[in-house]
Amino acid sequence: MKDCVLFSKLSENTVQCSACCHRCTIKDGATGICGVRKNYHGILKLLVWNKPTGVAVEPVEKKPLFHFLPGTPIFSLGTFGCNFGCLFCQNAMTSQLSKTDRWKGMYTKFLNQLKEWPPEKIVSYCTQNTISSIAFTYNEPSIFTEYTVDVMKLAKKSGIRGVFVSNGYQTKECLDYIEPYIDAFNIDLKSFRTEFYQTICNAKLQPVLDTIQRIYEMGKWMEITTLVIDGKNDSDEELTDIAKFIAQISPDIPWHLSACHPEYKMTDIRVTPKSTLQWAYEIGRQTGLHYVYLGNISNNAHAHTLCPTCKTILIERNYFDVANNSMKKGACPNCHTHIPGIWG
């Protein structure tokens, strides 16, 4: 447990958190909507500092990031808690455990039993195993921003890059705080409808759109993911709206379209049909996006990176493995078109 940075005092024992756009007003002894930022007598503390629910070394493609150090391993960690309440959450056992009254006792027990991973241990592991990047992922990292910054302050001294896999609900203060330490973002744009965010995610759409715009203006590398849910956000109109929004910021932003599986409180849906994803891919390309990728499906012909000019396959992928990378210094070897991303 450690004092938070992103909060302000409203009175002697009441604080307002500024990590995410909920901007929770938190009374003494209470937590914010995320369940992991708790007010102790007027001081907001991060309950999950040093306490990830899991760590793993994975292909960076699994984040998913396809234009960031392809084919390299990335150290990944996440904690309990989330500032969203997505009914389709694919990771609810950790993200929602701290927020559910009937699970609170289990959450406290598990939290106390978790193995500690202080920044020094994480960075030491990465340097000893030649891992060049760290991802804050699995749940929403803005709720444990202070832990992220503490890790990356030390990691940067060893030349290790930082990745933020997020729902995009950060405040401007949060983005400013992490800006020196994070090199790449993957932002979930779950829908382009306000009602979807309100009724299915317990959040709002506009702050996510604002975050995407801010990250681009910060000059950070960013890729966007949409989990396509059968009958919920898969209409031609909505997919076109998402693609147009991304394209008007930059057609070079990669758009990942992933299949959704029935999970948590949305078990009555079917797995997203492959045909739906393939049509969504066509919408993205027809809208002018240069890099559209499909995920969570087998026999995937749309996981490769193609040159937008001559259509040469530059990076060939098999699920999360890079089978071949023919790029030369971030460019197509055939026509020399520059391919945006972080390549080395």
- Does one domain contain both 61 and 91? yes
- Does one domain contain both 36 and 150? no
Report whether 21 belongs to an annotated binding site. no
**What is the pLDDT at residue 107?**
80
Domain for residue 333, yes or no? no
- Does one domain contain both 175 and 38? no
Phi–psi pair at 338, nearest 5 degrees: -70, 135
- Does one domain contain both 27 and 138? no
C-alpha–C-alpha distance, residues 165 and 78, integer Å: 10
Report whether 20 belongs to an annotated binding site. no
Q: How many domains does the chain have?
A: 2
**What is the pLDDT at residue 86?**
96
C-alpha–C-alpha distance, residues 300 and 208, integer Å: 29
Regions in the chain scoring below 70 on pLDDT: 100-104
- Does one domain contain both 71 and 38? no
**What is the pLDDT at residue 109?**
86
**What is the pLDDT at residue 101?**
67
Report whether 82 belongs to an annotated binding site. yes
- Does one domain contain both 25 and 144? no
**308: exposed, middle or buried (C-beta count within 10 Å: 0-12, 13-18, 19+)?**
middle
Domain for residue 342, yes or no? no
**What is the pLDDT at residue 79?**
97
Tokens, residue 280: 């969504």
**In terms of residue numbers, what domain contains 89?**
54-303
As a whole number of Å, the end-to-end CA separation of the chain is: 35
- Does one domain contain both 19 and 96? no
Domain for residue 108, yes or no? yes
- The interaxial angle of helices 119-128 and 145-156, nearest 10 deg, is 40
**283-332 tens-digit pLDDT:** 999 999 999 999 989 889 899 999 999 999 999 999 899 999 999 999 99
Q: What is the CATH number of the domain that holds 91?
A: 3.20.20.70
- Does one domain contain both 284 and 152? yes
C-alpha–C-alpha distance, residues 344 and 108, integer Å: 41
Domain for residue 335, yes or no? no
**What is the pLDDT at residue 323?**
96
**214-263 tens-digit pLDDT:** 999 999 999 999 999 999 999 999 999 999 999 999 999 999 999 999 98
- Does one domain contain both 42 and 58? no
Domain for residue 101, yes or no? yes
- Does one domain contain both 66 and 213? yes
